[in-house]
Structure 1
Amino acid sequence: MLGIVKPYYPISLKKMTQLRFLVITLSTTLLLSCSSTPKVKYADGVSDQLEYDVILMGGQSNMVGQGKLIDLEPMSFPNITLFDFSANPNLSPPQGNFGPEVGLSTELSKNYPNRRFLLIKYAIGGASLLDWSPNYDAQKAEITGHPEFGNMYKRLITLTDSLTQGHQVKTRALLWMQGERDARIPAAGVEYYQNFASLVNSIRKDLKSPELPIIFGKVNPPPHRYPALDTVIRAQMQITQELPNTYLIDTDDLEKWEDDLHYSSSGQINLGVKFGKKLTEHIEVETNAIHD
């Protein structure tokens, strides 16, 4: 079994309490993700003897997921290992919920039953791209109201390195569902393109994967509550036009809860399936190119 990976935080006396709480939170979440739940079973741990396709999953609340486990039929994914470091905005672990990993796992297990996948998911509800910036600025991140989140980008890289070190792995993609927070705050929304482009370029460099596919969902919260929504959507579309191997997933047909913001149980399953289908397309293209 892999050891607990502590999150990176800028240390100060002021933040020691939050740090201690987050370590406990993420440790608990990791232990839960490595064990089987009554409804959804994943493989335990990572074997040194097997090869894994690594899929990173990042973002905010719709990546954390508010699908309800109680709505699912029992299912098992013996060829998929999930490490889930997700948290609610108050940094508590989500209880009884699921995100797009279920639909994604269903699609991958169907298409590649003989391959091993390692899903590394890290998302916090309410996180903006200022929280995810590779050039993290704590003072600037306060604009979006959650300075306690700390340097999320560095933490994802640290988690990925720690969980894959010494194993036979190939990083296949970053799946991304985020942008609502930036759409809520115009000062963050206006920077969305440059901040997202910076994240894409940095993660490809840091993971030594210059062509890493970035598959991300279109944000679609209620416009009257999110004044920078159009700005963020234009930025998402611009990313796909200007950066190679970036793919925007349409989410307009996904069912939501009554808040018109978070995807329902069926919405989350279908979001994961969409991620899985696009990832499968890319894997098939890459596989055919190797065989040609």
Structure 2
Amino acid sequence: MRFLLFTTLFALHFLSFGQDDKIYIVLFAGQSNMAGRGQYQSLSQEDKQKVEEASKYISIINGEKQPVPLSYIRADKRQTNFGPELFAGILLHEKYPDRKFFFIKEAKGGTSLYGAWNPEWSYEKAKIGEIDDKRQQMKLYSRHVETINKTLERIKSDGKTPVLMGMCWMQGEKDSRLETTATAYGENFQLLIKSYRQTFNHEKMPFIFGQINCPPRTKFPDGTEVVRQQMAHIAQNDQNIFMINTSMNKDWDDFPKRGDNVHYNTQGQKKLGTAFGDILIQNSHY
């Protein structure tokens, strides 16, 4: 029944996309700064209008939810959150006003690349990388791949051609907390990128990620810098991997943060999404 509902809603969204043959796919994944803590209600009316225009051409599947037009995520009765996909979508629509896009997003706060996001997941690794029983059972890479495959199949069955533009990743804060997970980040990150590219037969797929800049943790004070250095090294060794540089300046003036000094605020999410969108556009092969 759930798959039938997914199929029906999926088809309804694409009916509004007209007769254009191609649907451009962008993947989004990570932890809480990808899930997003930006406050939609704090955006200007101009920005909200841009979202409304982009939503006519961009649909999104967020986790296990059904496809919907690009917009905010309701956190509770009073609060509406958004992640970097919102302003990445605005830029893509402004650059390619006649293109139809589909964003496929999987993000869960407090999850590690060592555990829940590991393409070679094991319960032993998950027990080290994750902080609670629920996250220790999560296989987020596998779940994301399953959703992507299901989406690609539906696009093709509707007579459309899916075009995979690239992937955006914002994650690593969790791995920085422990020496075991932090020092293994580079190896696990390379495996993640390789796995997505091989799974979808796109060896040169642009892969864009934000460099973490969370405050050092007391359990492993060097963790943030260890992960940051490994991220930078990976970006230097593949011309189709792009890092959004961040500063450790405590004012967080490059990508503004909330009071916890970890999560990007409304302006920070706007700037992060804009950076993702800029790099996607600059390095699109389509």
Provide the TM-score with structure 2 as the length reference. Answer: 0.79
1:251 Cα shift? 3.2
**Cα separation, 2, equivalents of 1:86 and 1:263:** 24
Specify the SS of the correspondent of 2:279: helix
Contact 1:53 1:117 in 2 (8 A): yes
Report 1:209-228 matches (<5 A). 209-225=202-218, 227=221, 228=223
Task: Give the stretch that moved more between structures: 72-81 or 99-108.
Answer: 72-81
Within 2, Cα distance between the matches of 1:278 and 1:164?
23
Equivalent residue, structure 2, for 1:121: 105
- How far, CA to CA, are the matches of 2:64 and 2:185 in structure 1? 22
Partner of 1:254: 255
**Separation in 2, partners of 1:165, 1:115:** 20
Shift of 1:5: 5.8
* In structure 2, distance between residues paired with 1:277 and 1:175: 12
Distance 1:243 1:86 in 2: 32
Instruction: Compute the displacement of 1:224 (Å).
Output: 4.7
Q: Which residues in structure 2 correspond to 1:50-199 (within 5 Å)?
A: 50=20, 51-72=22-43, 73=45, 74-75=48-49, 76=52, 77=54, 78-85=56-63, 94-95=75-76, 96-130=80-114, 131-144=116-129, 145-149=131-135, 150-167=138-155, 168-199=161-192
1:203 pairs, out of 196, 201, 207, with 196
- Compared CA separation, residues 175 and 270, structure 1 to 2 (3 A): same
Residue 166 of structure 1 and its aligned partner are, at CA, apart by 3.8
Offset from partner CA, 1:207-228 (integer Å, 9 cap, x none) = 1111111100010001255621
Aligned residues: 247
How far apart in 2 are the matches of 1:172 and 1:146? 35
* Superposition deviation, residue 241 in structure 1: 2.1
Q: Distance in 1 between matches of 2:230 and 2:140?
A: 21
How far, CA to CA, are the matches of 2:230 and 2:224 in structure 1? 10
SS in 2 for 1:119: strand
User: How many percent identity over aligned positions?
Assistant: 30
After superposition, the CA RMSD in angstroms is 2.6
Query: Conserved in 2, the CA contact under 8 Å of 1:251 and 1:271?
Result: no
Q: Which residue of 2 aligns with 1:276?
A: 277
Could you say what secondary structure the match of 2:169 adopts? Answer: strand
Q: Gapped runs of 5+ residues in structure 1?
A: 7-26, 36-43, 88-92, 288-292
Residues 51-100 of structure 1, C-alpha deviations (whole Å, 9 max, x = no match): 2110000000000000112112333121111111289xxxxx84421111
Per-residue Cα deviation, 1:5-41 (whole angstroms, up to 9, x for no partner): 69xxxxxxxxxxxxxxxxxxxx9xx9xxx89xxxxxx
Aligned to 1:233: 228
